[in-house]
Amino acid sequence: MNVLFATSEARPYIASGGLADVSGALPKALCAAGADCRVILPLYSDIPQNLREEMTFLESFTVRLSWRELYCGLFTAKKDGVVYYFVDNEYYFRRSGIYGHYDDGERFAFFSMAVLESIRHMSDFAPDVLHCNDWQTGLVPVFLEVFYHGDPKFSRIKTVFTIHNIQYQGDFDMFVAGDIAGLPEDKRSLVELGGRCNYMKGGIDRCDVVTTVSPTYAKEILDPWYAWGLDGFLRERSYKLTGILNGIDCESYDPEADPDIAAHFSADDLSGKAADKAALQKEVGLCVDPSAMFIGMVGRLVSHKGIDLVEYVGDRIMNMNAQMVILGSGEPQYEEFFRRLGARYPGRVSVITGFVPPLARRIYAGADVLLMPSKSEPCGLAQMIALRYGTVPIVRETGGLKDSIHDLGAPGGNGFTFKTYNADDMFNAIERAYFRYHGGEWQSAVRSAMRYDFSWHRSAAAYLGLYKAITR
């Protein structure tokens, strides 16, 4: 099975969020399962120089985009057994930052066309499946049908389109469909939604299979509350929609070997976790107190992450013998809330704005619980990483959080959950964790958490089964 995995970001080369984690780990797992999975992404100037030096130039060619004739260079490198291709065009990709540019619609239309043109120049590889990810590659299935129909080199290629976060759809003025993407007038309806050009809609429409990053999220996005306007369109195509839960790279996230944490530990020997807790408390300026239930939060401080729930009951949490460390940035009102909370409770609340990956790992290792009260969460990786480090998640039952975390009130549980988007219900889950923490049964909960397997092997097997089904 030959798979070309088209993505706008992938670790270790370039990352802005969870898509990069998936793009770095899933292809590796697919290769380990016997597939030849290769990754193609833009050659951003922000890719570290040491990684750029490992790349080899293959060749250059011209990509046609509407009336434009554009240079495209193709580079390659091999990392962890996976072949990567890099699409070069300095006008589009020699910039700071991956997204947020005024011409993102044009940049990723170019990338989508370059993915297909690059296949012509892969002398040793012909994909059976093109696996596209999020709106940045939504035009790939559209272009494949419109411009490559009937070409023998492309006639047998099947397409998978994965929705990682439906909120971000690649929404542009309708002129983009013609002047930028170059779609003929009778084909522009493929990307039209509500009078706008929508790249994600095009990918969903023209691909053979749509996947999301968890089974629950696949159901949720059929509901207007979650779907950001795509619910009706998705319901019409629910026959080709499925959810496959993401995994994590267990080799990278390993408390027995992680070089970024103060002490190593395992489910059989938890002594190092206490040392990690003390070291983290000291590092972030909190009182070194082994008896305090240490709550960690890692991620963006934005409304859909449930920060308003924490704001509502922040003082009630602090009235317990608890500490909090928050790592992330986002909406100013939430950053300010946590700063005010820290000022009211010195030595018990620490806020670090921004994102520092090594510190995130130390929070996963040193905290007692990880709080994720998300309003929506397509999959979530933080809760899986937390389990790996014996930090018990407290989550709302939504998306991948519902699929991966099961309440310790029932047999086989690995965390604490609440259903409704309500601050009192969240506080009740925190309170249950607190009583368990001080009730003498905490280490058994930690060991139970650490024994859960969320490696990519399970997900890779599901994707391989899907690929085989559509290529028969």
Residue 297 token pair: 């939060």
Q: Is pLDDT above 90 for 336?
A: yes
Average pLDDT over residues 43-52: 97
Cβ proximity of 28 and 22 under 8 Å: no
Per residue in 353-411, pLDDT (tens digit) is 988 989 999 999 999 999 999 999 999 999 999 999 999 999 999 999 999 999 998 88
Q: What is the pLDDT of residues 223-260, one digit of tens each?
A: 999 999 999 999 999 999 999 999 998 988 999 999 99
- The CATH fold of domain 2-247+457-471: Rossmann fold (3.40.50)
Cβ proximity of 430 and 417 under 8 Å? no
**Angle at alpha carbon of residue 324, lines to 321 and 327, rounded to 5°:** 175
Terminal C-alpha separation, the chain? 11
**Domain coordinates in residue numbering, the chain:** 2-247+457-471, 271-452
Structure tokens, 47: 């890719």
**Do 212 and 181 touch, CB atoms closer than 8 A?**
no
Q: How many CA atoms lie within 13 A of 178 on its CB side?
A: 7
Are the CB atoms for 40 and 32 separated by under 8 Å? no
Cα separation, 368 vs 292, in Å, equals: 9
Q: How far apart are the C-alpha atoms of 217 and 202, rounded to whole Å?
A: 20
- Mean pLDDT across the chain, nearest whole number? 96
Whether 18 has a pLDDT exceeding 90, the answer reads: no
**Domain 271-452 is of which CATH architecture?**
3-Layer(aba) Sandwich (3.40)
Domains 2-247+457-471 and 271-452 equal at CATH topology level: yes
- What share of the chain in percent tops pLDDT 90? 93
User: Which residues touch 393 (CB under 8 Å, ≥6 apart)?
Assistant: 369, 370, 371, 372, 383, 386, 387, 401, 405, 414, 415, 416, 449
